[in-house]
Amino acid sequence: MTLTCSFTSKAPAKADAFILCTGADLKPDLSVLSKGDSALVKAAMKNAKNFKGENGQVLSVPLSSAAKAGRALVLGLGDLKKLDALKAEAAGGKALPFLKSMGIESASIFGAKLPAKSKISESDVAAHMALGLRLRSYHFDAYKGKDAKAKAAKKPKLKKAVFVGGKFAAASKLYKRLAASADGIELARDLINMPPNDLYPDSYAKLIAKELKPLGVQVEVLDEKKMKTLGMGAALAVGQGSARPSRVVVMRWNGASKTKKGGPIAFVGKGVTFDTGGISIKPAGGMDEMKMDMGGSAAVVGLMKSLATRKAKANVVGIVGLVENMPSSNAYRPGDIITSMAGKTIEVLNTDAEGRLVLADALTYVQKKYKPKMIVDLATLTGAIMVALGFEYCGVFSNDDTLWKNMSAAAEKSGEKIWRMPLDEAFRTEMESSVADLKNLGSLGRWGGACSAAGFLEHFIDKDVKWSHWDIAGTAWWKSDKPTTPKGGTGFGVRSLDQLVEEAYE
Ligand code: BES
Ligand code: MN
Ligand code: ZN
């Protein structure tokens, strides 16, 4: 069950805890408490020398038996002059594990009084704190056994957060908007966390239809026969070693008014449901993580869910190439020369550089069929992007400065870190083969591997199409918890791109 967050100006009902937000000034609003209980909280703050009201810091104070809540939790928001939306989210997210450990199922939350020159309104703080709580409360336990599930069901977890205060009228509205992003993020996380024996191209395609059709998204599944007719020789080559047939799924959300001119915008995702590397097989250590090699596609599916949930006023095409990269007697080989849908031939030098082959055909298809004015693709494309940027930043390539500016602004607002990487003639020519049009491995091998991969993709972008490529290999999956993101699949990309659509295309 997901957490419900609501906002009210009424007096607080009974709850397991009252959460009293405070700045570094340690002056929470205690008006909800009796005199005696206020004194208890003040004394506790004074005695706890480590409690400085830093962002996410929590101080627990048991209240008298007459109080409407068993305890007060003083929650730090940090310096209130510097408080902004993302910091409010972080405070909510950091508080969540604490609430969990204390067995708190219901909480009434009281905002901090903000200074006159505050960067943010009190109601916006409440809405973003609610989002932080919700995003951090995500968990994936569908695959636990019966006993573990029964045990988990009995464990208390935060079910209800009520933000109390007179200034929260706008908070509900903002939270509804933010929750649409959260819906998409949670779907993307679920897809990434699913094991590859259950999430493979065909099952994945069916899941997409099941999730998105009820929201009014048109979902079309191209099977291998259709892919062959279309000439998708690159994507098909990657999937040919697998017993699980490949799929391409096209999702369409037509939310723009009839008078809106120009083509749709498009989002393209790499959906390698498992990447063994194929004949150029990967080492055994950590190979299980390659179930997340469909993270780009998950972001596209999640984005479509967010857009449809909030009825975005834009025409959007989402397309994902779903394949499993396996070694077998039928697998494609290093040395093979394959023909892409664009007609360009590709010499395969490494079967582990498969994502670009899948994307090439998806990019060609979406341009031929829908003539989009803008395309963003997302892919867990290269280990090299992690060499360049670690796990903190997503590498973003773009052939258009305005598009980059819009994406950069949207990402900044969303708290997703992106960093611009270079496209260059040199990276494009590096991918030219002596025996075919292109090769799937650059001449320089590992050096600049994320850039040459982008250079390869650029060969499949039509003239004058605004395009950006997001290499999310380092950001789609996190090994440890962050304030608003539990470890595992992150859903990276959904929020920024939802924001981008809202700000630049509606
Ligand atoms: N899916 C991988 C990239 C990847 C690595 C994603 C680690 C997430 C975590 C991709 O298909 C791949 O194998 N890339 C190769 C390309 C190389 C053979 C040119 C790589 O990065 O080593
Ligand atoms: Mn690979
Ligand atoms: Zn891959």
Q: SS3 letters for 360-421? A: HHHHHHHHHHHCCCEEEEEECCCCHHHHHHCCCCEEEEECCHHHHHHHHHHHHHHCCCEEEE
Percent of the chain with pLDDT over 70: 100
Q: Report the DSSP pairing between strands 315-325 and 247-254.
A: antiparallel
Q: How far is the CA of 353 from the centre of ligand 1 (A)?
A: 6
Task: For residue 451, tell me if it sits in a domain.
Answer: yes
User: If you average pLDDT over every residue of the chain, what do you get?
Assistant: 97
What CATH number should be reported for the domain holding residue 117? 3.40.220.10
Interstrand relation of 106-110 and 160-164 (parallel, antiparallel or unpaired): parallel
Whether 81 shows a pLDDT value over 80: the answer reads yes
The two three-digit tokens of residue 115, written as one number: 């200074």
Sheet containing strand 337-339, edge to edge, reads 337-339, 345-347, 438-439
Same domain? 255 vs 404: yes
Are residues 127 and 236 both part of a single domain?
A: no
Cα 226 to Cα 229: distance, rounded to the nearest angstrom: 5
Ligand 1 pocket, 83 CB below 6 A? no
Q: Which whole-number Å values give the CA distances from 394 to 461, 475, 476, in the listed order?
A: 21, 6, 9
Pick from 304, 312, 315: which is nearest to 263 by CA? 315
Distance 293 CA to ligand 3 centre (A): 5
If one compares 11 and 435, the residue with the highest pLDDT of the two is: 435
Best mutation site among 270, 280, 382 for ligand 1 pocket (most ligand atoms within 8 Å of CB):
382
Q: For residue range 367-399, what is the model confidence (pLDDT) as tens digits?
A: 999 999 999 999 999 999 999 999 999 999 999
Give the domain-ending residue among 139, 166, 193.
166
Q: Which ligand is nearest to the CA of 446?
A: 1
**177 assigned to some structural domain:** no
Residue among 421, 482, 427, 490 nearest 459 (CA): 427
Structure confidence at residue 10 as a pLDDT band (50, 70, 90): confident
83 domain residue, yes or no: yes
| Nearest ligand 1 atom, CA 383 | 21
Regarding whether 438 and 323 lie in a shared domain, the answer is: yes
Looking at the structure, do residues 353 and 227 belong to the same domain, yes or no? yes
Cα 391 to ligand 2 centroid, rounded to whole Å: 18
Is the entire prediction scored with pTM above 0.85? yes
- Summarised one tens digit per residue, pLDDT across range 417-457 is 999 999 999 999 999 999 999 999 999 988 999 999 999 99
Both 117 and 227 in a single domain? no
Is residue 454 classed as helix, strand or coil in its secondary structure? Answer: helix
Whether 407 is in the pocket of ligand 1, judged by its Cβ within 6 Å, is no
Q: How far apart are CA 60 and CA 14, in angstroms?
A: 17
Tell whether ligand 1 has an atom less than 6 A from the beta carbon of residue 380.
yes
The protein residue whose alpha carbon is closest to atom 19 in ligand 1 is 353
Same domain, 230 and 122: no
Which ligand is nearest to the Cα of residue 387, counting in written order?
1
| 449 in contact with ligand 1, CB cutoff 6 A | yes
Residue 178 beta carbon below 6 angstroms from any ligand 1 atom? no
Q: What is the CATH number of the domain that holds 273?
A: 3.40.630.10
Ligand 1 atom with the shortest distance to the CA of 452 = 19
CB distance 502 to ligand 1 below 6 Å: no
293 close to ligand 1 (CB < 6 Angstrom): yes
Mean pLDDT of 159-166: 92
Query: Ligand 2 centroid to 342 CA: how many Å?
Result: 22
- Strands 69-76 and 15-22, how do they pair? parallel
Ligand 1 centre to CA of 470 (Å) is 14
Return the pLDDT at 153.
87
Residue 166 has pLDDT above 80, yes or no: no
pLDDT at 177 over 90: yes
End-of-domain residue from the set 109, 136, 166: 166
Residue-level pLDDT at 1: 61
Is the C-beta atom of 238 inside 6 A of ligand 1? Answer: no
pLDDT tens digit string along 95-125? 999 999 999 999 999 999 999 989 999 999 9
Whether residue 353 is predicted with pLDDT greater than 90 in this model: the reply is: yes
Statement to judge: residues 322 and 440 lie in one domain: yes
Ligand 3 (ion): which residues have CB within 5 A?
A: 272, 275, 293, 355
Active site residues: 282, 356
- The torsion region of residue 431 among left (phi > 0), alpha (psi -120 to 50) and beta comes to alpha
**The pLDDT of residue 258:** 84
CA of 273 to the centre of ligand 3 (A): 9
Residue with CA closest to ligand 1 atom 5: 383
pLDDT band for position 136 (50/70/90)? very high
- Tell the burial category of 399 from Cβ atoms under 10 Å away from its Cβ (0-12, 13-18, 19+): middle
| Contact 350 CB / ligand 1 (< 6 Å) | yes
Q: Which domain, by its residues, includes 45?
A: 4-166
> Model confidence over 240-283: pLDDT tens digits?
999 999 999 999 999 998 887 789 999 999 999 999 999 999 99
Do 241 and 143 fall within a single domain?
A: no
Q: Which amino acid is at 370?
A: Y
Q: Is the CB of 353 under 6 A from ligand 1?
A: yes
Average pLDDT of 295-310?
A: 99
Q: Are strands 466-471 and 394-398 parallel, antiparallel or unpaired?
A: antiparallel
The percent of residues above 90 in pLDDT, for the chain, comes to 94
Ligand having the closest approach to the CA of 327: 2
Residues whose CB falls within 8 Å of the CB of residue 312, separated by 6 or more in sequence, listed in order: 253, 255, 306, 498, 501, 502, 506
Domains: count for the chain: 2
Residue 233 Cα, ligand 2 centroid: separation in angstroms? 17
Q: Would you say residue 480 has pLDDT above 70?
A: yes
What whole-number distance in Å separates Cα of residue 10 and Cα of residue 169?
A: 12
Domain assignment present for 179: no
Please return the burial class of 44, using the count of CB atoms within 10 Å of its CB with bins 0-12, 13-18 and 19+.
Answer: middle
Same domain, 228 and 161: no
Q: Is the pLDDT of residue 187 over 90?
A: yes
- Per-residue pLDDT reduced to its tens digit, 257-268: 888 778 999 999
For residue 168, the model assigns a pLDDT of 76
Residue 176 domain-assigned (yes or no)? no
Which bound ligand lies closest to the C-alpha atom of 383?
Answer: 1
- Is residue 196, in this structure, part of any structural domain at all? no
Residues 6+ apart with CB under 8 A from 156: 100, 103, 104, 105
Shared-domain flag, residues 147 and 229: no
Residue 173 domain flag: no
Q: Maximum CA pair distance of the chain?
A: 84
| End-of-domain residue from the set 166, 193, 224 | 166
Domain assignment present for residue 181? The answer is: no
